[in-house]
Amino acid sequence: MASELRQRHWLMSRDAGITHIPSNDFSLYDHVLDTAFMVGAIPARHRFAEGPAGGKLGSYFAMARGAQDAGRGLDLPALEMTKWFDTNYHYIVPELEPQQHFELYTSKPLDEFLEARALGISTRPVLLGPVSFLLLSKSENALALLPALLPVYEQLFLALGAAGADWVQLDEPALVLDLAPEAHAAYRLAYRRLSLVSGPIRMLLTSYFGGLRDNFALAASLPVSGLHLDLTRDPNGLPVQLDELPGHLSLSLGVVDGRNIWRTDLDQALLTLQKTIDAIGTNRVFVAPSCSLLHVPVDSSLERRIDPEISSWLAFARQKLDEISLLTTALNHGLHSVAGRFEENRRARASRGASKRVHDPAVTVRMLRTEPSMSRRQSPYAVRRVAQARVTPLPAFPTTTIGSFPQTSEVRATRAAFREGRLDADAYQQFLRAETERAIRVQEELDLDVLVHGEFERTDMVEYFGAQLEGFVFSELGWVQSYGSRCVKPPIIYGAVSRPEPMTVEWASYAQSLTKRPMKGMLTGPVTILQWSFVRDDAPRSTVCRQIALAIRDEVADLEAAGIRIIQVDEPALREGLPLRRADWKEYLTWSVDAFRLASSGVRDETQIHSHMCYAEFNDIIEAVAALDADVISIETSRSKMELLDAFVRFVYPNELGPGVYDIHSPRVPSEAEMEQLARRAASVLDPSRLWINPDCGLKTRGWAEVRAALAAMVNVAKRLRAERALTHTAIG
C-alpha cells in the first residue's frame, strides 16, 4: 500500500510536467520521526522490538504510539508530540541524550530514490536538515550534538551520490525562526562539512512557512547550489538586489501556496518569476509550491457536492502541480502558449471577488456594532468562583473529561449508513441518543464529577460547527494528515461567517436531562475553527476570526439559556497560530485573545467557562492564556511528565487549571500509580484548591475498554487526593 501511494504520487507529478520530483517525502507516521529513526536516535527503552518480534518498525511505532504487552513485560509511553511550526500537522519530538550515539540505522531516503528510479523517474531526495532536526529535538544542548550527527548525513550523501542523485533537498524550516548566534554557527559548520562530501550532488536548501528576513544573508552564504523561498507567506522575501546573489546560487520560488486551497494569481506569480529571471537568468530559477503539498487535499476535480462556482475557485495538490507547470510553460515558451489557461484563471478569480456568496451586509453591520465591553465578563474571577460554587458545587480535585468519547466502528458505520441513505433520520437519531445515554451511564458508574455527552453526532470538532455556519463549504475527499494515521477534513471558509440557528443546544439539553450531574456544553473556539480551516485569503484572518467569535457567542448564550451551567470553548490551536517571529506576536495575541473573550464573555457569573489546549509550549504565551479569563483551562501535560507546568509556576495562573494525567493519543493505558505521580506533581506546584483532574484531550480515537480502565484509575487518584486533603484540613481545624 505504501509503495503504491509513493508510485502514484511520483507518476502524478511526472504527468503534470514537474521536472524536479521529490522522494522520501512519504512517511508511515511523520517525517521527523523518520529522521530520528534513520539516524538511530532511538531511546534504549524503545529498541525492544528489533529482530523477529517486530523488526525495526516495532520500535518505530512504539516511539510514536507507545506499547503495552503484558506477556513480554512491556509498558512503554510514547515520545512527546507537538505541532509542526504553525500547522495542524504533528510530529514526534526526538529524545536525545547528552552523549547521543548516531548511526545510519535505516536507508529510507536511498531506498525510495532507487524505487522511483526503477519507474524511470529520477527524484530529488528530501531530508530534514541536520540543524533543524536538532533544534526540533528534546535535548539539554541539542546543537552540541551536531559533530556527532554530521557523519550520518555525510554517509547518506555518499550513498545517494553513488546511486546517481544529482540534487538533494535539505529542509531547514528553522531558518524562518529567530535564531541565536550558536544556531548560525551550526549552519555554517553543517553545510561546510556536507559540501565536502556532496560530490556531484547539488544541495537545495529549503525554508518555508515564513520569510528568512535577517537569516537571508546566512542562508545565501552557505555552500549550497539552491535556496528555496516561501513567497506566499512572505511576498517581500526576494532580496532587493537580486543581481548581487552569489553567482552559483539558484532560487526556488514558492509562488504557489502549499498551505491553502485557493487558485494562484497566475499573473502576479508570473510577474514575480519573470522579475527574478530578468535579474539572475532563466537557468537559476525554479518554479515551486511554497512548501510540501502535505498540507492540502489531493484533487479538487473529484469533489461532486461543492457548488460549481465555489469549486472553480479551488486548487488542491493536483491542481497546484498544474499551476506550477503552467507557469513554467509560460516562462519557457511565452504567455501566448498558455493564454487560454491564464484567461480561465483570471475569470475564476474575478468571479470570486464579485460573488454575492462572499459578502453579507448583516455580518458587516454586526461587526461595526461590536463594543469592547462585550469582551469582558461581568465580574472578576474571584467573584465568579463564589457564584459558580453556589450554583454548581463540586468536590476538591473535580474530575471531568475533555469532550468526546470513543467513535467506535459501529458509530462510524451507522453514520456512513445515514449519509448514504441506508438509514433514515429517525433511526439515526435514536442510535445517537442511545450512544449518548450509554456514555453518560458509563461516566456515572465511573463517578466522574462533570460529565460530557460524548459528541457522537460530530465527525470532527471543527467540521461539525463549520457545517452549521454560513460562509463555510465542505469537501467530500479533502483529507489531510494531522498525525500518524489520523486525518482531518478541514472546512473551507469562503465568505462572511454567521450562525443561522443553534448548533449544540439540543444535544446538550438532552444529555443534561439524563443526569443530575453537571453537563458541559462543548464548543470549539473561534481561533481553532479559523486555524483548522482553509481560510479565505481575501480578508484579514483577524476579521474572519472575529466573525466566528460572534457566531460562537450566540451559541454560548443559547446554551446558558437552556440551563447549561458549564460551557467549554476549546482553543487547542491558540499557540499553534502564534506567528513564528516574536516581533509579530503582539498583534496576533491581541486579536486572538479578544476573539475568545468575545465568544465566551456574554454569560452570567454563575456560568463556568472552560477551555482546552493541547500539544503546545505555553511558556512564551502564559500571560495571553491567563488573559483569556476562562474559569478553568485544561492542558496537555502527560507526555512531557508535567514539564509544561513550569510555565504556570513562573507565572502564577489566576484561575483554575486541569493538567492532563492521561495521554489519550496512545492506546496504552497508564497505571494508576503513573497518573497519581503526575497529579501529585501538579498539586505540588499549583494551588490544589484550583486543580482539576482530567485526560490530556478528547477520547474519540480510543476504545471503550481503554477508556473505562484509564478513567477508573484517574477517578481513584482524584478521590485519594481528595481524602488526603480533607484529612489535612480536619487536622488543621
3-class secondary-structure state, position 43? coil
Overall residue count recorded for the chain in this entry: 733
Distance set, CA 129 to CA 125, 133, 142 (Å): 12, 6, 14
> CA–CA separation, 452 vs 448, rounded Å?
10
DSSP letter, residue 562: T
> For residue 348, with 0-12 CB atoms within 10 Å meaning exposed, 13-18 middle and 19 or more buried, which class applies?
middle
Q: At what angle do helices 425-446 and 409-419 cross, to 10 degrees?
A: 160
Dihedral sign for Cα 706, 48, 150, 116, please. Answer: negative
For residue 613, give Cα distances in angstroms to 249, 556, 625, 696, 697. 43, 19, 10, 9, 8
Q: Of the candidates 677, 576, 488, which has an alpha carbon nearest to the alpha carbon of residue 77?
A: 677
Q: What is the DSSP letter of 67?
A: E
Q: b vs e for 177-202, b when ≥16 Cβ sit within 10 Å of the residue's Cβ? A: bebeeebeebbebbbebbbebbeebb
Q: Please check whether residue 66 is in contact with residue 72, taking contact to mean a CB–CB distance below 8 angstroms.
A: no
Q: Nearest Cα to 543, choosing from 507, 595, 504, 582?
A: 595
Using CA atoms, how far apart are residues 513 and 487, in angstroms rounded to an integer?
34
Q: How far is CA 694 from the centre of its chain?
A: 22
Going through 248-369 in order, the beta strands assigned E by DSSP cover: 250-256, 285-289
Are the C-beta atoms of residues 394 and 656 closer than 8 Å to each other? no
Residue whose C-alpha cell is 532560487? 251
Q: Is the distance from CB of 562 to CB of 492 less than 8 angstroms?
A: no
CA distance 462 to 704: 23
Phi, psi of 226 (to 5 degrees): -145, 155
DSSP state of 691: B
Among 46, 453, 612, 665, the active-site one is 665
Collapse the DSSP code of 251 into the 3-class scheme (helix H, G, I; strand E, B; otherwise coil) and give the result: strand
- CA 492, CA 509: separation in Å to the nearest integer? 29
How far, in Å, are 376, 542, 593, 602 from residue 373 at the CA level? 6, 18, 14, 10
Do the Cβ atoms of 30 and 90 come closer than 8 Å?
yes
Cα 85 from chain centre? 8
Grid coordinates given for 29: 507516521
Residue 55 burial class via C-beta count within 10 angstroms: exposed 0-12, middle 13-18, buried 19 and up: exposed
Q: Which three cell numbers stand for residue 256?
A: 504557489
Residues 6+ apart with CB under 8 A from 433: 510
665 is catalytic: yes
Residue spans of alpha helices (H) in 601-660: 622-627, 646-650
Q: Which of 299, 268, 212 minimizes the C-alpha distance to 8?
A: 299
Please identify which residue in the block is written with the cell numbers 454560513: 470
Lookup: cell for 246: 552569489
Catalytic residues: 665
